[in-house]
Amino acid sequence: MATKNIESMIKALSALDCTDMYQNDFLLTWDKKADEIGATFVVAELLRALREKGISSRVFDSGLGISIFRDQSTRTRFSYASACNLLGLAVQDFDEGKSQVAHGETVRETANMISFMADVIGIRDDMYIGKGNAYMREVSQAVAEGYRDGVLEQRPTLVNLQCDIDHPTQSMADMLHLINQFGGVENLKGKKIAMSWAYSPSYGKPLSVPQGVVGLMTRFGMDVTLAHPEGYEIMPEVEEVAKANAKVGGGSFTRTNSMQDAFEGAHIVYPKSWASFSAMEKRTDLYGADDFDGIDALEKELLAQNAEHKDWTCTEDLMKTTDQGKALYMHCLPADITGVSCAEGEVEASVFDRYRVPQYKEASFKPYVIAAMIFLAKMQHPAETLEQMAENGMPRVFG
């Protein structure tokens, strides 16, 4: 895949079994087979290669990509809009508000009402543990029923744009970045990646990024180390996924409470703040009970707990302990940079600056990853279609 040769990528795609992706959703990376993950990467690379050659990837003459963002978002919104536009879909935002009240009847009805001409529905719902992914599955079931009952003339595909459990468009973009940086997925075998908690002045960032990373990166034979202070555990079921994946993929999954241990000899480091799973569970329960005093008290407690770990930060000194002192620094952005965006944060400014361009490149894969997810769900013969597109060579811009 390191070669950007279009023909060879199409050939590689033909060899992969992605039949089950057709008319299906993309909700969790660990629901997808190795071939399906691989196909997503190849299609993303192919769409990027076509775009860079000025060839149109517009497979939809018309059609809608619905977006449901239950949380403010710029990056993901633009990545989704870009992916939809690349394929020819117009974006229509559905603004449901930030409440967590929509359930059952309302979800079923609304899902149908917004889907009469929807090809894709992208959802971001990462605010409450136990809610986001469940909501996506409710919507998915509703539109599947709507299609079965003849209400909808097609079954719209769901793409998880971040939930409480996984952030597949992020982790897949991260992984594609690694594949490109290391010159091929085969070169990642045995490489050590440190997914580490880091201090940030805010205490409640989603767990979906670290969970997505350990759930996905363990599949490629890497040595994945998850580091965090006590009390910042991720969801136990995702740890189980990581362990099982590591076994199958021939790598390892290790947990440590020391950032130093994680960075020691690492080839890749991903220092990032997140909330503790148990705290987020408590918060969800308090919201459910409308206990706003309880929430206030919890938030104060979490901030105090947080402040005890300001030493979890990605310094130049720490970076020196990584493999040849040159580990690849990663972040999903925006980062909390010490002395820039906050007094004390996740990373020292000089480290962040040195890796600015690679980070931007990391982010640049997201629109193509989302487009690939849509493409594989909507095209029955993805390799043939891409071959046709490459052959036709229809220019994206006239003139």
DSSP, collapsed to helix, strand or coil, labels residue 152 as coil
How many binding residues for a copy of itself (CB under 8 A)? Answer: 69
Count of CB atoms situated within 10 Å of the CB of 84: 26
Cβ 331 to a copy of itself, closest distance in Å?
11
The angle subtended at Cα 316 by Cα 313 and Cα 320, nearest 5°, is 115
Q: Near a copy of itself by CB under 8 A, which window of 44-52, 197-205, 280-288, 298-306?
A: 44-52
DSSP bridge partners of 328: 268
Taking CB under 8 A as the rule, does residue 114 contact a copy of itself? yes
Binding a copy of itself (rule: CB under 8 A), the pick from 14, 23, 82, 187 is: 82
149 binds a copy of itself (CB under 8 A): yes
Q: Which residue has the tokens 């509703």?
A: 142
Residue that is written with structure tokens 């691989």 in the block = 38
Taking alpha carbons only, the member of 118, 120, 127, 121 closest to residue 97 is 127
Residues in Cβ contact with 333 at an 8 Å cutoff, skipping those fewer than 6 apart: 75, 359, 363
Interface stretch with a copy of itself, choices 35-43, 131-139, 298-306, 372-380 (CB under 8 A): 372-380
Residue 48 in contact with a copy of itself, rule: CB under 8 A: yes
DSSP 264: T
Select from 7, 20, 109, 301 the one that contacts a copy of itself (CB under 8 A). 109
Stretch of residues binding a copy of itself (CB under 8 A), selected from 16-24, 38-46, 101-109, 240-248: 101-109
Q: How far apart are CA 374 and CA 157, in angstroms?
A: 7
Across-strand partners of 224?
A: 193, 253
CB of 51 to a copy of itself, least distance (A): 6
Site for a copy of itself, rule CB under 8 A = 48, 51-52, 56-64, 74-75, 78-79, 81-82, 85-88, 90-92, 94, 105-106, 109-110, 112-114, 116-117, 119, 146, 149-153, 333-334, 337, 340-341, 357, 360-361, 363-364, 366-367, 378-382, 384-385, 388-389, 394-399
